[in-house]
Amino acid sequence: MKIAVIYYTLTGSTGYVADIIARETGADKIRINTKKKLPDNFFKYLKGGFQSFFKVKPELEELEKDFSVNNYDLLFIGTPVWADKYTPAIGSFITEHNFNNKKVVLFACGRDVESTDKALSSLRKDIKNVIVTGEKAFVEPIKGKNETRRTAEGWSRELVKNLQ
């Protein structure tokens, strides 16, 4: 089974979880970046929160030339939580690609569980033409690194095993 972990990360938490999933499942890691970066100070919360809330779709850096969602049987899609929603970069990604009823697994990393669940719900609602086969909220994944590793390994391994 060909798997990709597609993710955006600003401060590394979602990247940390994406690394674990990729290692555990043998997936390709595809990091999404916006062309314009958020300011590296307090204004990132204002600007990022505003963009998320109003579903702004920022321009993304180009992915590798041969990247296509069609090359994969399963996609993990990971996002940080901004203003109770998925990040604008993931918003751009899900509108720019046609998933053709592909199986996807969603994960989100936030500061609190309620907010992270909300972000997952909004992503599940907005992503089109997919079969959502799994979902997981990670709260402060960097704070309990070992626990996060064990959780992410067990969860992703079982998920993939059940799909094979």
Ligand X SMILES: Cc1cc2nc3c(=O)[nH]c(=O)nc-3n(C[C@H](O)[C@H](O)[C@H](O)COP(=O)(O)O)c2cc1C
Residues at the interface with ligand X (CB under 6 A): 9-15, 44-45, 48-49, 80-84, 109-112, 115-116
To the nearest whole angstrom, how small is the minimum distance from the Cβ of residue 8 to ligand X? 7
> In angstroms, what is the minimal distance from the CB of 66 to ligand X?
26
Smallest separation, CB 1 to ligand X (Å): 26
Q: Which of residues 109 and 127 has its CB atom nearest to ligand X in the complex?
A: 109
Question: What is the radius of gyration, based on Cα positions, of the chain?
Answer: 15
User: Across-strand partners of 83?
Assistant: none
Q: Using CB positions, name the residue nearest to ligand X.
A: 48
Identify which of residues 103 and 152 has a Cβ nearer to ligand X in the complex: 152
